[in-house]
Structure 1
Amino acid sequence: MHLRYVDARRYLVRGDDCGFSVQHEILKKGAPVRLEFRNHVYAVLITRGSGRVRLLDAHGHVGEGQDHAVTEGSLVALNAAEAVELEAETDELHAVSVLNPPLFGTEQRHAGSGVFPVVDSDGEELQSYDHSAVGRLFSAPESLKGGSAPMKDDPLF
């Protein structure tokens, strides 16, 4: 993904069958980037640089007491439906993020809202989904589908 102030590289995507995706985003100094993961849970670890993270309310405004400094080692985790602005104060702010459901790899953030769609198993982009679509969006990785207990491969179980 290449927006004016963001360069993103995707390392693990849905097709890698890990159950999550991993990205490396590099934000450039100059403007806040709105991130809204209405369809995902999201965790981001700042690996280089410093900046600000601002939790936005339902109207897109920064809530009182919701403007925080982030530096190397800071971790930000968002539940679905939370929105933030992330802004680099140094020339570059590097962040490694994990999303679930995993990104498919080709979807693009909506220019107006900043929301990433989810892509189902048929390749259809969805702006939102209900419980009936969950199985088409994400599932346990193949290595864990039978559980993690020592007996998981026993034919009796």
Structure 2
Amino acid sequence: MIVKDIKKDVIGTNREVFAQGGQWVSRRMLLKDEGMGFSFHETIIKANTKTHIHYQNHLEAVYCVAGNGKIEDLATGEIHEIYDGVMYALNNHDDHNLYGGTEDMRLICVFNPPIKGTEHHDENGVYPLED
């Protein structure tokens, strides 16, 4: 059994990863080496920010539990509002922009395959695929 306290086991450790531009912080609670077959994160998207993301190597499901923002599908131009209770899944490796709204947005995220934990988006918004 794996039990983690985000305040004791994640925040302030190498499992708390900050965007190079300051747009988000990812608190990585379950990682690849823990053998669950997925990784599990809490991500805070800062208000009034824009992040380009294109997970070419991963699928991601995201559930908003606080705050607001929007996601823009770059293939179609479609924009979806995100707020407490909204889930979105990037089931087609969707190229998108994620916008923080009027307040910080708190997201619960699952990645498949799981990430190792030290990943940052590259210049194309991609996490590398780890062996």
Alpha-carbon offset, residue 96 of structure 1:
0.7
Q: Which residue of 1 aligns with 2:48?
A: 30
Question: How high is the sequence identity, in percent, across the aligned residues?
Answer: 29
Three-state SS of the structure 2 residue aligned to 1:119 is coil
- 1:97 to 2:113 alignment: no
- 1:42 to 2:60 alignment: yes
TM-score under structure 2 normalisation? 0.81
Q: Which amino acid aligns with 1:89?
A: G
Q: Which amino acid aligns with 2:94?
A: E
Gaps of 5+ in 1: 58-62, 121-157
Give the RMSD, CA atoms, in angstroms: 1.2
Q: Which amino acid aligns with 2:53?
A: L
- 1:2 to 2:18 alignment: yes
TM-score under structure 1 normalisation? 0.68
Gaps of 5+ in 2: 1-16
**Which of structures 1 and 2 has the bigger CA Rg?**
1
Q: How many residues align?
A: 113
CA distance in 2, matches of 1:79, 1:39: 11
CA distance in 1, matches of 2:69, 2:63: 12
Please, which of 97, 108, 114 is the counterpart of residue 125 of structure 2?
A: 114
Maintained 8 Å contact 2:39/2:111: yes
Q: Which residue of 1 aligns with 2:33?
A: 15
- 1:82 to 2:94 alignment: yes
Q: 4+ residue runs of structure 1 moved beyond 3 angstroms?
A: none
